[in-house]
Amino acid sequence: MTDDKFLEKEELELDLLLAALHRLSGFDFRKYMRSSIMRRVQNRVRLEQLPNISRLTEEVINNEMLLQKLLDDFSINVTEMFRDPAFFKAFREKVVPELAEYPEIRIWHAGCSTGEEAYSMAILMEEEGLGEKVRIYATDMSEKVIRKAEKGSIPISKMKAYTTNYMLSGGKKSFSEYYSTDSECAYFDSKILRKIVFAQHNLVTDGSFNEFHIIICRNVLIYFNLELQKHVLQLFNASLADEGFLGIGSKESIRTEAYGHFEEFFFEEKIYRKMRA
Ligand SMILES: C[S@@+](CC[C@H](N)C(=O)[O-])C[C@H]1O[C@@H](n2cnc3c(N)ncnc32)[C@H](O)[C@@H]1O
């Protein structure tokens, strides 16, 4: 078989696998970045020592555990507290002053992974005197990471790096005031955790569920193709109040001319604002 024919066949096999996954699990990865999905599938084929993607599809249809493994392969959960501290610094300095008059503030962290981003925001809002007004909704497609996020615990080995991030983000206290520890983990105080509601929500298949003043969706759009990015930005537009803020990841961009509705608010840190209708 020529290389071209092989690649064509592999693309077809991938289409069939993704269709089967959708039918079996409800998770739809057909509009994710093709190259990254292909890489993960090829890796799974290798790990399971299978000859090709078609065999993987057969196995997945008959083996619930393998199906789960493949879904986990597609969910990249890398996260940190105060990740990209400059984003949180800009949020403190530029966005927070705009929120002073709001009677209540609803924030949606979409694609929150294991919760570190939402804990960071809860701490920031508390320090800026907005803790009583804020309600944070943190969602992810993966139930597994949501269950972990609800626990509010982090391996102690990560806390040194997170303390540095916190300080760089303009943190105003000693970071250790927000958690207690044992020999393995740091446990965030209930004062921080009770501001956050964690729930499963899939940006591909689920709709809007509230009106928010701020939506943070960082390092998620990067996994979607342009059509899916556009769909998700429409969902965010429908879920944001007029003049609400949208924060995305440092490597992500929205083309305002293409998607309308948003204007740059602080471009250096990818913070946008929904224009008045
Ligand atoms: C790399 S993490 C980013 C976590 C956090 N926002 C951050 O920047 O540190 C990407 C997260 O997006 C989630 N995700 C991917 N596709 C999703 C979808 N369709 N709906 C909701 N969450 C999704 C993954 O499960 C993963 O937890």
> Which pLDDT score is estimated for 199?
98
Q: Give tens-digit pLDDT for 115-136.
A: 999 999 999 999 999 999 999 9
Spell out, as residue ranges, where the chain has pLDDT lower than 70: 256-259
List the beta strands (DSSP E) in 157-204.
179-181, 185-188, 196-200
Type of residue found at 105: I
> How far does residue 254's CA lie from ligand 1's centre (Å)?
17
Pairing of strands 240-248, 271-274: antiparallel
**153 CB under 6 A from ligand 1?**
no
Sign of CA dihedral 148, 149, 153, 155: positive
Q: What is the rounded distance in angstroms from the CA atom of residue 277 to the CA atom of residue 273? A: 12
pLDDT recorded at residue 167: 98
- Give the number of the atom of ligand 1 that is nearest the alpha carbon of residue 83: 9
For ligand 1, say whether the CB of 248 is within 6 Å of any of its atoms.
no
Nearest CA to 123 among 158, 157, 172? 172
Kindly state if the Cβ of 75 falls inside 6 Å of ligand 1. Answer: yes
Structural tokens at position 51: 């000859």
pLDDT of residue 258: 59
For the entire predicted model, the pTM comes to: 0.95
Nearest CA to ligand 1 atom 14: 111
Which residue, by CA, sits nearest to atom 9 of ligand 1?
A: 79
For position 276, what pLDDT does the model report?
A: 85
CB 239 near ligand 1, within 6 Å: no
Name 143's Cβ contacts closer than 8 Å, sequence gap at least 6. 200
Ligand 1 centre from 3 Cα, in Å? Answer: 34
Residue 84 Cβ inside 6 Å of ligand 1? The answer reads no
